[in-house]
Structure 1
Amino acid sequence: MARKKKGRVVSGWVVIDKPAGITSTSVVNKVKWAFDAQKAGHAGTLDPAATGVLAVALGEATKTVPYITDALKCYRFMVRLGQSTTTDDAEGSVIAQSDLRPNDAQIEAALVAFRGDIQQVPPQFSAVKVEGERAYDLAREGEQMDLAARPLWVDSLVLIARPDADHVELEMVCGKGGYVRAIARDLGEALGCHGHVQWLRRTWSGPFDADQGLSLETLDAGAKTDALDAHLLPLELGLADLPELPATPEGAARLKNGNPGMVIASSAGYGDEAWASYRGRAIAVGVYKSGELHPSRVFNRD
Structure 2
Amino acid sequence: MSAPRSTRVEVNGWIILDKPVGMTSTQGVSVVKRVFNAKKAGHAGTLDPLASGILPIALGEATKTVPYVMDGRKVYRFTVAWGTETNTDDTEGSPVATSDIRPERAEVEALLPRYTGVISQVPPRFSAIKVDGERAYDLARDGEEVELEARDIEVHALRIVEYSREATTFEAECGKGTYVRALARDMGRDLGCYGHVTALRRAVVGTFDEQDAVTPDELRAMKEGASDLPPLAEALLPVETALEALPTLVVSQHDAGRLARGQGVILRGRDAPVFEGVAAVMSGGTLVALAELDHGELLPKRIFRL
The equivalences for 1:74-113 within 5 A come to 74-113=75-114
Deviates more, 1:203-212 or 1:43-52: 203-212
Q: What code does the residue aligned with 2:19 have?
A: K
Structure 2 counterpart of 1:291, from 286, 289, 296: 296
| Identity %, equivalent residues | 46
Please tell me whether the aligned partners of residues 34 and 222 of structure 1 are also in contact (alpha carbons under 8 angstroms).
no
For normalisation by structure 1, the TM-score amounts to 0.93
Q: What code does the residue aligned with 2:113 have?
A: V
Equivalent-residue separation in structure 1 for 2:178 and 2:59 (angstroms)? 25
Please tell me whether the aligned partners of residues 253 and 284 of structure 2 are also in contact (alpha carbons under 8 angstroms).
no
Residue deviations 1:24-66 (CA, integer Å, cap 9, x gap): 0110111111111111111111110100111101000000000
1:267–1:241 Cα change, 3 Å: farther
The equivalences for 1:105-184 within 5 A come to 105-162=106-163, 164-184=164-184
Please tell me whether the aligned partners of residues 80 and 184 of structure 2 are also in contact (alpha carbons under 8 angstroms).
yes
Displacement of 1:220? 2.0
Residue deviations 1:65-91 (CA, integer Å, cap 9, x gap): 000000001000100011001110111
> Structure 1 regions of 5+ residues with no counterpart?
none
Displacement of 1:286? 2.0
Equivalent-residue separation in structure 2 for 1:171 and 1:262 (angstroms)? 45
Q: What code does the residue aligned with 2:200 have?
A: L
Equivalent-residue separation in structure 2 for 1:266 and 1:213 (angstroms)? 37
Residue deviations 1:178-237 (CA, integer Å, cap 9, x gap): 111010001101111111101000111121111221111112223487932221001111
Per the alignment, residue 275 of structure 2 pairs with 269
Per the alignment, residue 20 of structure 2 pairs with 19
Per the alignment, residue 261 of structure 2 pairs with 257
Equivalent-residue separation in structure 2 for 1:266 and 1:20 (angstroms)? 49
For normalisation by structure 2, the TM-score amounts to 0.92
Aligned-pair RMSD on alpha carbons?
Answer: 1.8
1:280 is the counterpart of 2:285: yes
1:124–1:267 Cα change, 3 Å: farther
1:223–1:63 Cα change, 3 Å: same
1:243 is the counterpart of 2:247: yes
Displacement of 1:134? 0.5
Between the two proteins, the alignment pairs up a number of residues equal to 297
1:268–1:241 Cα change, 3 Å: farther
